[in-house]
Structure 1
Amino acid sequence: MTVIVRDLRTEDRDDAERFARSRHRALPHLLWTAEGTLHLLAHTPPAARRRALVAEADGEVIGTAQVDLVHDSPEPGQGCFTVYVAPERARRGAGTALVRACEEHLAAHGATKLFAWVLDAPAHRAFAERHGYRAARHAHFLRLDLTAATLPPLQPAPPGVQLRPAAGFADDPRPLFALDLETAADEPSDVESGSAGYQEWAASTWEHPMLDRELSMVALVDGVPAAFSLAHTDGRGRYATAMTGTARAFRGRGLAKLTKNASLHRARAAGVTEALTGNDGGNGPMLAVNSWLGYEIVATEVRYVRELG
Structure 2
Amino acid sequence: MTVIVRDLHPGTPADLEGFVRVRHLALPYVFFSPASLLHGLSLARPGAHARRLVAVRDGEIIGTAQVGLAPDSPQAGQGYVNVYVDPGHAGRGAGTLLVRAAEEHLAAHGAKQLFAWVLDEPAHRAFAERHGYRPSRSAHFLCLDLAGAALPPLQDPPSGVVLRTAADFADDPRPLFVLDAEAGSDEPGDIATEFTDYQAWVEEHWRHPHLDRELTSVAVADGRPVAFSVAHTHDGARYTTAMTGTARDHRGRGLAKLVKNHSLHRARAAGYTRAYTGNDAGNGPMLAINTWLGYEIRATEVRYVRELG
TM-score (norm 1): 0.97
Distance 1:57 1:165 in 2: 46
Q: Aligned partners of 2:187 and 2:219: how far apart in 1?
A: 19
Separation in 1, partners of 2:214, 2:31? 18
Please name the residue that 2:302 is paired with.
302
Superposition deviation, residue 266 in structure 1: 0.9
Contact 2:113–2:306 under 8 Å retained in 1 = yes
- 2:208 alignment partner, SS class: coil
The SS at the match of 1:20 is helix
* CA shift for structure 1 position 72: 4.2
Distance 1:260 1:71 in 2: 28
- Does structure 1 residue 67 correspond to structure 2 residue 67? yes
Q: In structure 2, what is the Cα distance between the partners aligned to 1:243 and 1:70?
A: 19
**Deviation of the 1:236 alpha carbon:** 4.9
Match of 1:160 in 2: 160
Q: Which amino acid aligns with 1:153?
A: P
Q: In 1, are the aligned partners of 2:181 and 2:194 still within 8 Å (CA)? A: no
Figure out how many residues of one structure are paired with residues of the other and give that number. 309
* Structure 2 Cα separation of the partners of residues 206 and 13 of structure 1: 25
Change (3 A) 1:291 1:102: same
Distance 2:160 2:55 in 1: 54
How many Å separate the matches in 2 of 1:117 and 1:86?
Answer: 16
For residues 64-110 of structure 1, give each alpha carbon's deviation from its aligned partner in whole angstroms, at most 9, with x where no partner exists. 11011024433221111110111111111111111111101100101
Per mean C-alpha deviation after superposition, the further-off stretch among 229-238 and 296-305 is 229-238
For 2:94 and 2:190, the matched residues in 1 are separated by 27
What is the CA-CA distance between 1:12 and the residue it aligns to?
2.2
TM-score by length of 2: 0.97
Q: CA deviation at 1:227?
A: 0.1
- Between stretches 257-266 and 14-23, larger displacement belongs to 14-23
CA distance in 1, matches of 2:187, 2:83: 23
State the partner residue of 2:234.
Answer: 234
Q: Distance in 1 between matches of 2:209 and 2:74?
A: 30
Say if 2:184 and 2:193, in contact at 8 Å, map to a contact too.
no
Aligned counterpart, 2:97: 97
Percent identity, aligned pairs only, is: 66
Shift of residue 147, structure 1, vs aligned partner: 1.4
1:26 aligns with 2:26: yes
Deviation digits for residues 105-155 of structure 1, max 9, x if unmatched? 100101121110100000000000111111111111110011111100111
- Deviation, 1:13, is 3.2
Name the CA distance, whole Å, in 1 between partners of 2:292 and 2:135.
30
**Residues 174-193 of structure 1: pairs in structure 2 closer than 5 A:** 174-193=174-193
What is residue 276 of structure 1 aligned with on the other side? Answer: 276
Letter in 2 for 1:159: S
Q: Gaps spanning 5+ residues in structure 2: where? A: none
Matches within 5 A, 1:225-264: 225-264=225-264
Deviation at 1:271, TM superposition (A): 1.1
**2:152–2:293 CA contact under 8 A, matched in 1:** yes
Q: Distance between the aligned counterparts of 1:188 and 1:236, measured in 2?
A: 31
Give the alignment of 1:173-212 within 5 angstroms: 173-212=173-212
Q: Secondary structure at the match of 2:276?
A: strand
Match of 2:6 in 1: 6
Q: Matched residues in 2 for 1:79 and 1:26: separation?
A: 22
What corresponds to 2:109 in structure 1?
109
Which amino acid in 1 is paired with 2:28?
Answer: P
Name the structure 2 match of 1:128: 128
Output the amino acid matched with 1:295: Y
Letter in 2 for 1:228: F
- Structure 1 portions without partners, runs of 5+: none
- State the alpha-carbon separation in 2 of the partners of residues 3 and 77 from structure 1: 30
Partner of 1:266: 266
Q: Are the counterparts in 2 of residues 44 and 204 from structure 1 also a CA contact under 8 Å?
A: no
> Using the alignment, how far apart are the partners of 2:277 and 2:238 within structure 1?
11
Q: Is the 8 A contact 1:144 1:274 kept in 2?
A: yes
2:147 is matched with 147
